[in-house]
Amino acid sequence: MKNFITFIVLFVSSSVTILCQPTVNGRFLEITNNGTNYVVKVQILTNTGTDILGDATIPFTFNITSLTYINTTFSNFSGGDYFTATATNTPANRISLNIVLNNTGGGTIVTNTFMDVATITFNTTNPAGSSNLTFASPLEFFSPTATQWNNGTFTNLNTNPLPVELSSFTGKADGNRSVDLKWVTKTEVNNYGFYVEKKVNDGDWNSITFVEGNGNSNSPKEYGYTDKDVFVGGSKFLYRLKQVDTDGQSEYSDVVEVELVPTEFDLSQNYPNPFNPSTTIRFSLPKQIQLKLNLYNMLGQLVETIAEGTYEAGYYKVNFNSSNLSSGMYIYRIESSDFVKTMKMMLLK
């Protein structure tokens, strides 16, 4: 038979005017479960995102066969317009978190995105086991004028720990032509691996590679990837990790931003060369500039304008299709007020 402890989160307030009765949703967010530490956040939101919390009672139970309470850290509802929050453990196995509004008014608005109430730390002896955290009754929330708010959805936590505890994810330019990405995990549970996703300036996210995970691990693991494809139309590169576990569930990391600005103008040799029917032309710009990329025959006659416009600083590539041209040697030339360069290409059909 399972034993349970009941948690009570209690807020006490003074009088502050509030104009509506929002609906409150709550959840647990599991942060760590590695066989020694078990860390869980209690979070709430409202549908309005504009109302100040007065009194509240948030009880829940958990399976004490694998968890032992250590301490509580308060967030948002301590300091500022609240007196310092305190935690008591009397009587035994019942935790009361008390937060009091100042008499002068003010308080904390409960936003319409999940915000932390408190972070609870336990000891755990079962790193792969169920936490069995379950919201109990009565769940009660009130405005500072004692008007009761509506209860929405409160999501229990009866799941395994997060697939991966990511301790760091960084990116930096490696010279002018690549970006080094590195990340470290503290622990891993059923970690299938990581999709590395990239976005340039205001473009879309695209997966650029997959890095296999270590499955299950209680020790730090280091990962890395070098992105050499910088000729994608800009200088601001955004990266994120999509971690996938063996059951197909996934979670995104924070985004890291790397700025990679060329130090000089350049026009590269097209590739492939010779080519048929298409080839890629790359060029680099250290600053914003208006340019034309023109194609000429060997008599110096303009055949086609491949690219034209105002370009921000960054690395660019243009795919050129020659299906309407005859075999032979051609000249491509980048033309601007600051930079002019000519290169040859060979079309073989």
**What are the pLDDT digits (tens) for 316-344?**
999 999 988 999 999 999 999 999 999 99
> What pLDDT does residue 150 have?
95
Q: Token digits for 64?
A: 């004490």
Asked if pLDDT for residue 79 goes beyond 80, the answer is no
- pLDDT value at position 173? 86
Residue 102, pLDDT > 70, answer no
Considering only residues 155 and 157, tell me which one the structure prediction assigns the higher pLDDT.
Answer: 155
- Whether residue 1 is predicted with pLDDT greater than 60 in this model: the reply is no
Domain ranges of the chain: 4-155, 164-259, 266-347
Q: Which of the four pLDDT bands, split at 50, 70 and 90, describes residue 129?
A: low
Q: Is the peptide bond prior to 163 cis by the omega test (within 30 degrees of 0)?
A: no
Between 273 and 105, where is the model more confident?
273
CA dist., res. 348 & res. 326, Å (int): 8
Which two structure tokens, joined as six digits, stand for 194?
């990581």
Report the alpha-carbon distance of residue 27 to residue 95 in Å, rounded.
18
Quick check: 59 pLDDT over 90?
A: no
Residue 269 in contact with residue 281, Cβ under 8 Å?
no
Question: What pTM was estimated for this model as a whole?
Answer: 0.50
Q: Tell me the average pLDDT across 160-180.
A: 79
Residue 194 to residues 94, 158, 166, 252, Cα–Cα distance (Å)? 41, 25, 11, 9
User: Predicted confidence band at 170 (pLDDT cuts at 50, 70, 90)?
Assistant: very high
Q: Residue 216 pLDDT more than 60? A: yes
pLDDT at 76: 79
Q: Is the pLDDT of residue 84 over 70?
A: no
Structural Rg of the chain based on CA atoms: 29
Q: Does domain 266-347 bear CATH number 3.40.50.150?
A: no
pLDDT in the model for residue 99: 56
Report the mean per-residue pLDDT for the chain.
Answer: 82
Task: Supply the pLDDT for residue 211.
Answer: 96
Residue 224 CB-density burial (10 A; 0-12 exposed, 13-18 middle, 19+ buried)? exposed
Q: Would the CA dihedral through 88, 35, 130, 255 be positive or negative?
A: positive
Q: What's the mean pLDDT in 44-55?
A: 88
pLDDT digits (tens, 9 = 90+) for 135-156: 877 788 888 888 899 999 998 8
* Structure confidence at residue 108 (pLDDT): 84
Mean per-residue pLDDT for 262-282?
A: 93
CATH number of 4-155: 2.60.40.680
**What would the two tokens of residue 141 be?**
């929330």
Q: What is the pLDDT of residue 233?
A: 80
Q: Do 31 and 166 contact (CB within 8 A), yes or no?
A: no
pLDDT value of position 103: 42
* Domain 4-155 and domain 164-259 have a common topology: yes
- Sorting pLDDT into bands at 50, 70 and 90, what band is 2? very low
Tell me the CATH number of domain 164-259, given options 2.60.120.510, 2.60.40.10, 3.40.309.10, 3.40.50.150.
2.60.40.10
Distance CA 260, CA 312 (A): 12
